[in-house]
Amino acid sequence: MRSPRKKLLLWLTAFTLIMACVPSVATPVPAAPLDPNAISTFILQTAEAASTQTAAAMPIFTSTATFTVTPPSTFTPESTYTPVGTIIFPTPTPVESDQLYRFKHDYQLAYYNYKSRTSDNEWPVEKWGLQTPEMVQLWVNREIGSGTHRTKLNGAWEAYIDLLNNYNPRKLYYLKANNTALFDGAGFPQLESVSMGGNIITLDEIKNGWGRVHTFDFNNPGSLEGVNYITRPDLVHKFIIIGWSRKTKTTYVADPPPPYGDMYWPLVSSRDVWTPLEFLEAFPLLPMVVTGVIKQEIKQKPEAGSDSIGYTLAAGASAQVIEYYPSGSDVWGRLSSGGWIALLRHPKAVITYMTDWKMETRPPLPPPAVK
Instruction: Transcribe 291-352 into DSSP letters.
Output: EBSS-EEEESSSSTTSPEEEEEE-TT-EEEEEEEEEETTEEEEEETTSSEEEEEE-GGG--E
Most distant pair of Cα atoms in the chain: their distance: 157
Q: How far apart are CA 177 and CA 188, in angstroms?
A: 7
Q: What is the DSSP letter of 167?
A: T
Q: What is the pLDDT of residue 221?
A: 95
Q: What is the mean pLDDT of the chain?
A: 81
Segment 309-321 mean pLDDT? 98
In the predicted structure, residue 181 carries a pLDDT above the cut 50? yes
- Identify whether the C-beta of residue 341 lies closer than 8 Å to the C-beta of residue 355: yes
Segment 166-191 mean pLDDT? 94
pLDDT-based confidence at 98, cuts 50/70/90? Answer: confident
Q: What is the pLDDT of residue 67?
A: 27
Q: What is the DSSP letter of 262?
A: S
Q: What is the pLDDT of residue 260?
A: 94
Q: How far apart are CA 269 and CA 239, in angstroms?
A: 17
Q: What is the pLDDT of residue 33?
A: 39
What is the Cα gyration radius of the chain?
40
Percent of the chain residues past pLDDT 70, beyond the cut: 73
Q: What angle do CA 133, 139, 141 make, to 5 degrees?
A: 170
Segment 352-357 mean pLDDT? 98
- Identify whether the C-beta of residue 265 lies closer than 8 Å to the C-beta of residue 196: no
Q: How far apart are CA 85 and CA 137, in angstroms?
A: 22
Name the amino acid, one letter, at 181.
A
**Coil, helix or strand at residue 128:** helix
